[in-house]
Amino acid sequence: MVVELVERPLPRPSDAAYVEARLLEALGEAKLALEYLERGLTRNAACKAFQTWKVLLAALLRLELERLKALAKTEEERKWLESKAVSRVPTTRMKELARLLKEAGHEAITAWTAIALDLHDYQHHGPDPDTALSKYATRESAAADVVELLQELARRVEALRGRVRWSGELEKALEEVRRALTR
């Protein structure tokens, strides 16, 4: 099921099914991250955890798009949110996008986004005892953040119940991630 969730084509961001598709993708990526952790592939798990968070941000940006456009200061910013931010979620702008989501009511999303970005660095540099290239001195420290980030992802997806189309497929994917998190 994980491969199917991650590999299926996405609806357009303007499509009502976009948010659900992104949540399914995020949960599929989360399951892969946990499988990598079980195999001892911490850098791969960090990569997937980062991707999971980025996909969640895309879903939230689409869900909150009208509110975010109202918060935007310029017409150019509104157009960028609609044309680029939702569909691409540029890594270099994730902190800024998380701040906008915080203004839209998503508490602590900036802190969790910072952890996701730390895991992104870890993916490229691995454990770094000097913490010059990576915030993680050990694999265990990075693995702990992977698990915590995925727990937060599951909590946030669950909190969207009632705000998005909640299919049996979404319920099943969430339950699979929860089960994997308790192992």
State residue 6's pLDDT score: 65
State residue 5's pLDDT score: 61
State residue 16's pLDDT score: 78
State residue 1's pLDDT score: 58
Question: What mean pLDDT do residues 179-183 have?
Answer: 94
- What is the overall mean pLDDT for the chain? 95
- For 181, half-sphere exposure in the C-beta direction (CA atoms, 13 angstrom radius) is 21
Query: 164 forms bridges with which residues in the sheet?
Result: 161
Q: What is the pTM of this model?
A: 0.94
State residue 30's pLDDT score: 98
